[in-house]
Chain A
Amino acid sequence: MKRSLRWRVLLILSLAAVVPTVVVGVLAIMRARHDVENEVKRGSLAHIRALGAALDGTLQGARRTIELAASQWADAPNDARETQLLIKRLRRGVPIVKSVSILDPDGKLLYGDPVPPNVDIGSHSFGGYIGDAIFTNAGTPTVHAVVQARGRTGELMGVVVAALDLGFVHDVIAAARLGPGARVLVVDGTGVPVATSDTTTVSAHSLAGTDPAVDRALASSIEGTLSANGMVSAYRNLSSYQSLRGVRWAIIHQQPEAQAYALARSTTRDTAIIGIAALAIALALGAFFATKLTRPLADLAQRADAIAAGHTTDGAPVKGPGEIGVLAQSVDEMAKRIAERAELAAALARGDRLASVGVMSAQVAHEINNPLTTVLGYAKLLLEDKPEGHPDRTALELIADEAERMKKIIGGLLEYARAPRPSEPATVTATGAAAPGHSDPATVVRHVAALVAPQLKKAHAQLVTDVAEGKSIAIDAHALQQVLVNLLQNAAQALTGGGTITVSAKPAAGGIATQLTIADDGPGIPAADQARVFDPFFTTKAPGTGTGLGLAVVKHLVATAGGSIEVGDGPNGKGAEFRVVIPNA
């Protein structure tokens, strides 16, 4: 039971706390890892956005300068000298400009360098245009910015086409601070690397179809991330930048997963270890507290088993916190009540047996009493006829004495056997202190004290009473009077050399009865006799001085009232003490 209860508590703890904690913890760890991985991706994206913005800024600056030059040329399109100077200043002022061409609106070259035939100048379009990379003979990636040149009236006078050297892209990327194993590359619309951050030489070989990140980047219109082939890639299509509208270039950040997610994985591992340790501690604490919590319950169960087996007084009282403590007190109280009831039941059983003996004895005594009266009467008549000194007189006197003694015994037996008579007006009832079947112990004690005063005086015994007024107990006043008279007479007889007799009353355990205590400081009753003093015909008095029925009658009366009586040593082990417990009315 004890083991079962503890394990059940542990099981409940596990189900109610540990399992949800584990589930939530695992989910939280996975979520955290997912978030950290996303942060890595976001970080990579932010990085390439910044790099892209840097490229964009450079290209925008170049384009603005070209636009200014185009506007300036459109104001005087036929001035060849000014145009040549303008082209010279443009080359000098914008370092990434490799060549400048000025064409008329139909695409015919007017000034500057020839334009490669595969450059779509887009003169029909709204504004500037930058086409895909065109590789020159030297292998340097180049784009062509096409800017409309409109005159004062807004009329299109021509277009300025500037070839921009993208070597600066490589410089920007190479200067970027990258994580371990990471690289950044820019590919053109066909997947050809334009620039990379590593030492790899830019080549004209397309990575399309070989690198999933390149394929995804070229297929996307904006940006995204990808995990493939053990690499984490973040990409952004450069068409999203102001200066590169319409260009399908992409900038890609790549890093091996092992390095990219190193923080996420170590965080996951550390969190898992800490979580498992915390869980183990929580479980150990749970087991400790479960044991502590269930121990009083187990003790209570053991106590209940003992009570069920009849051992109501076995074991120490169980103590526990809160409701368990209250329950333990209730169990203790219950055990006491059960013990009291068992004792009362046993007493009642004994009372029944004694009552049977009493009835039989009464019948016998009644049958004997009549012939005995005859015997005694004739013995006394014969004695009256015999003068003093007659030889028969001694025998007759002996017959009369013994017959007298036998009558006393029979009288006692009849008294013992007489049933209580609640309807019989009790002495105290006349005082109005108690109802029939109930009595006020204080009143009865006072009355009895008056009755036994001569015997007490003869025995030089002093009576001390300590009985509170106003109590009502469930015993007929006549019966209680007889009980007290018998007990006080016995005490007086015991005090051959004088002494003190105390009669006191107090609430019995549980508060449902009153205990009357009659104690003396006489020689007391030997322990061996204490168990037998209530048996009929048992007496410790000198032969001929007691019938041995007094205490039996007392016990019978008390038991009939539903009470109990026990004898023991007096206070401080001196004298005898009778404790009579009568239920309260």
Chain B
Amino acid sequence: MRSALLLIALAACGSEHAGPQPIRFLHTFGAEETEMFNALMAERGIAVDASLVPFARGQQVIGEILRAGTACPDLIRIDATWLASLGPFAAVPDNLIGLDWLPESKEMIATSAGNIGNAGAIPETVDGLVVIRDDATPAPASPAIADLIGAARAARHPGRPHPLGLRVDGYWLLPWLRADNIDLGFDSDGQPMIGHDGAARAMQAFASLFGDLAPSPPPAGSEAPDEVRRWLGHELAYWVTGPWQVGALAERDHLAVSALAHAPRGGQLLMVPQCAKRPTEGWKLAAELTSVEVQRAFAERFASVPSRKAALDASPPLVKQLYKALQTAEPLPRSPLTPMLFDDLNPALAAVVAGDATPDEAVAGAARGWSRIAGQRK
């Protein structure tokens, strides 16, 4: 009887029970990742007020939120290239810096210091571009672009006229640019590297693949689902993409991963902004997200490459393949300008692929844009 009354009393007050104040978390997870994140936090009894920020406009939205300062989150999950442009952040606690980070993670932590002298973020996952294929499909002879193209040509047949999966995006263009020693940034003279000799050639080489080895680009905004559809339909033999899209595939047992020379490598960082009202709680949530159990769970479910050794050791073989391929990739320059440079590079590349502009015209325009951005920053 007492227990019954207790139940009634609990039921009476349970709905209005005020629990611990949730940790405010802005993240860029996908819908399914968000679902899993919520489940994991619920299992651990961690109250989180999480908000999803679409990745495509994440830097802009998060930047606006932090500038407004009225709803400053306790923790933010961001792309590694955004950190430098998002303003002041809190230093990472020593206990987190001392974890068993992978070398690529350590590098990201080191470059996150910025001008505050201390590390400003810890990586939650490592990502970048790799080549995905079926394990029955022969691997390219080497990570070189020429060998990838050669393998794709060999895999082409009437039933599969466009076996190479590429996206019209400056991020995908980088291996071609880097093959000509052009990177996302400025040379020692302060000139935009996109204006160097070879940039137009690289852009032309990349753009010429569409309609030849790679399928014609779909309408803007539908690239990711179009690529997944083509892969599932066995239209592609070699798919240049990142772990984030591999995780969307339900059937991953027969996937194999190859490295791509000069591929960009990055990751997703966890940072606590300086305006956070409860930075300690933010770092606690960061510790949970980088715990072996949570990273392994994400690796198993989404093929996310963990940022810690122990989590990688406990991950499925495919994730280990992804990591191995990413080890030869090269990180993007850690500059506040880096994300903005894509703003001009992407439309220039799209114009060349669409045939609206010659590579020389597009490269010249992008170089002017990069210069302007650099000038505005100064």
Contacts and interface: CB of A to CB of B under 8 A. Distances in A.
Q: Tell me the dominant secondary structure on chain A's binding face.
A: loop
Interface in B124-151: none
Given A152-B356, A154-B366, A189 B68 contact: yes
B333 interface: no
Contact of B357 (A106, A152, A248): A152
A129 B63 CA distance: 12
Given A124-B340, A218-B70, A154 B347 contact: yes
Contact of A153 (B7, B11, B24, B356): B356
B54 A154 contact: no
A129 B61 CA distance: 10
A155 B369 contact: yes
A155 B365 contact: yes
A239 B61 contact: yes
A523 interface: no
Interface of A: 19-20, 23, 26-27, 30-31, 34, 37, 105-106, 122, 124-127, 129, 150-156, 189, 218-222, 227, 239, 245-248
A31 B11 CA distance: 8
B26 A221 contact: yes
Interface string B336-375: 0000100110111111000011000110111011001100
22 contacts: A23-B8, A26-B8, A30-B11, A105-B372, A125-B343, A126-B57, A150-B347, A152-B357, A153-B362, A154-B349, A154-B350, A155-B369, A189-B70, A219-B70, A221-B53, A222-B52, A239-B61, A245-B54, A245-B60, A246-B61, A246-B64, A248-B71
B364 to A, nearest CB: 8
B129 to A, nearest CB: 20
B7 A27 contact: yes
A106 B11 contact: no
A213 B170 CA distance: 43
B4 A19 contact: yes
Contacts of B56: 126
B245 interface: no
B6 to A, nearest CB: 10
B273 to A, nearest CB: 14
Contacts of B348: 153-155
Contacts of B61: 239, 245-246
Contacts of A125: 60, 343
Given A106-B376, A154-B365, A222-B51, A248 B11 contact: no
A221 B376 contact: no
A222 B24 CA distance: 12
Given A23-B4, A27-B11, A153-B348, A218 B71 contact: yes
Interface residues on B, range: 35 or more
Contact of B12 (A23, A30, A37, A151): A30
Contacts of A124: 340, 343, 373, 376
A23 B1 CA distance: 9
B221 to A, nearest CB: 11
A219 B71 contact: yes
B242 to A, nearest CB: 19
Contacts of A247: 64
A27 B15 CA distance: 12
Contacts of B346: 154
Give 9 closest A-B pairs by Cβ, nearest first. Answer: A221-B51, A155-B365, A154-B347, A153-B357, A246-B64, A154-B348, A23-B4, A154-B351, A153-B365
Nearest to A242: B54
A27 to B, nearest CB: 5
Contacts of B349: 154
B228 interface: no
A129 B1 CA distance: 61
A23 B7 contact: yes
B65 interface: yes
A245 to B, nearest CB: 5
Contacts of A154: 344, 346-351, 356-357, 362, 365-366
B59 to A, nearest CB: 8
Contacts of B357: 152-154
A27 B369 contact: no
A227 B15 CA distance: 12
Given A19-B4, A246-B60, 16 more contacts: A23-B7, A23-B8, A37-B15, A106-B372, A122-B60, A150-B347, A153-B348, A153-B362, A155-B348, A156-B369, A189-B68, A221-B24, A222-B51, A239-B61, A248-B70, A248-B71
A239 B53 CA distance: 9
A127 B59 CA distance: 12
Contacts of B1: 19
Contacts of B351: 152-154
A156 B344 contact: yes
B15 A34 contact: yes
Nearest to B85: A124
Interface in B9-29: 11-12, 15-16, 24, 26
Which of B60, B340, B344 has the most chain A CB atoms inside 10 A of its CB?
B60
Nearest to B1: A19
B60 A129 contact: yes
Interface string B45-83: 000010111101101110011001011010000000000
Contact of B368 (A155, A218, A219): A155
A189 B64 CA distance: 11
Contacts of A26: 8, 11
B18 to A, nearest CB: 12
B348 to A, nearest CB: 4
A219 B68 CA distance: 11
Contacts of A126: 56-57, 59-60, 343
Contact of B57 (A127, A150, A221, A227): A127
Contacts of A23: 4, 7-8
A67 to B, nearest CB: 12
A219 B277 CA distance: 12
Contacts of A189: 68, 70
A227 B18 CA distance: 12
Contacts of B65: 221, 246, 248
B4 to A, nearest CB: 4
Interface centre among A26, A37, A218 (most CB of B within 10 A): A26
Contacts of A31: 11
